[in-house]
Amino acid sequence: MEVSEGKRDIVKEDKIRDFEDDEKVNLPVARRASEFEVKYPSNPHLNDKENARIKNAVEKEGIAVGCKTYVSEKGVKDLLKTDKKGAAMVINNAPLAEVKSYGNMDYLSTPETQKVIAKRKEEARPQLEREYLATSSRALDAFSRCPQLEKERTIQSDRNVKDRPKIGVKVLKERNSEVSEVTGKKLDESGAGKPVVHHKERVADNPDLFSSDDNLIVMRDDEHREFHSDPELLPNKEGLEKYKKRKNNGS
C-alpha cells in the first residue's frame, strides 16, 4: 500500500520489519510480538489452520512501540479474514494517528483493529466467520495485555504520578513565563495571577500526553478556575480554544 510522505506517522525508513537500529537513529523502538510471552487463544470451533493463521497474524506481524501495539497490513488481512485490497482499505480509512509506517509497511493500532472487528461481528455474517473474528479479537487482546506490557504501563503511570508536581516548575522555568498564554495578562506569584500549568488534554483522558510540551499551557490561576468551572466548556483542547476566543474577544 502506497502512502504519501507526511500522511502517516513514519517511525523508521528502512527495510520491512527491520527494527534493530531504531535506538541508533533516536526513533521509537519497535519490538516484535514474538519477543513477548503471550498466551494466544484457540477456538474449538475453528480448525488448526484457522487458529494458526490468527496466532501468526499477531505473533509474526504484531509490534509494540512503547506500550502501544500494532499489527501489519498482512496481519490485518489475516485477522479480518479478508484479502489484500480489503486490508488496504481498512488502513487507508483509519485515522492517521492510528497508523505507523516502517519502511514500506503500514501498521494499524490494536484499538483501531479491534474497532473494525467489533463492527464486523455485529454485521450479518456467517456464524463461523464471527467465531473467527472473535478469536482474532482475543488474540490481539492477549498481545496488547500481555504481562510485560501491562507492567511497563503501570511503571509509566507511577512515574507520571511521581513527576506531576515537577512538571509545572519545569515548564515555567523553561518558558520563563511572565504572562498568561491564554490572555496575555501578567502573571504574579500570589492571588488570581498565580501561574498554573494546564494540560490541554486531561491526563485522565490521555496519559500519554502527560509530559508533552505541546499539551501544556501556562495560564493564570483565576483563568484556570474559570475555565474548569464553566459547564459549557469541555475539559479538552477544543474547550480551551473556545475559552481563549471568548476571553480575547472580550465576551
Per-residue pLDDT reduced to its tens digit, 188-216? 987 899 999 999 998 888 887 888 889 99
Write the CB contacts of 247 (distance below 8 Å, at least 6 apart in sequence): 182, 183, 223
Write the CB contacts of 218 (distance below 8 Å, at least 6 apart in sequence): 171, 172, 175, 177, 180, 181, 187, 195, 196, 197, 198
With the CA atoms of 110, 89, 118 and 77 taken in that order, what torsion angle do they form, in degrees rounded to the nearest 10? Answer: -70
| Residue type for position 82 | T
Whole-Å CA distances, 108 to 69, 94, 128: 9, 8, 25
Segments of the chain with pLDDT less than 70: 1-28, 250-251
Q: What is the pLDDT of residue 104?
A: 84
Strand partners, 216: 199
Q: What is the pLDDT of residue 251?
A: 54
Counting Cα atoms < 13 Å in the Cβ hemisphere of 243 gives: 24
Q: What is the pLDDT of residue 207?
A: 82
220 three-state secondary structure: strand
Whole-Å CA distances, 202 to 90, 136, 147, 209, 234: 29, 32, 27, 8, 10
Helices (H), 122-146: 127-144
Whole-Å CA distances, 10 to 27, 83, 101, 102, 235: 10, 24, 5, 6, 30
Handedness of CA 11, 12, 18, 21 (dihedral sign): negative
Between the two ends of the chain, the Cα-to-Cα distance in Å is: 49
Q: What is the pLDDT of residue 27?
A: 53
Q: Are 76 and 40 contacting, i.e. CB atoms less than 8 angstroms apart? A: no
- The residue written with cell numbers 541508533 in the block is 24
Backbone torsion region of residue 191, taken as left when φ is above 0, otherwise alpha when ψ lies between -120 and 50, otherwise beta: left
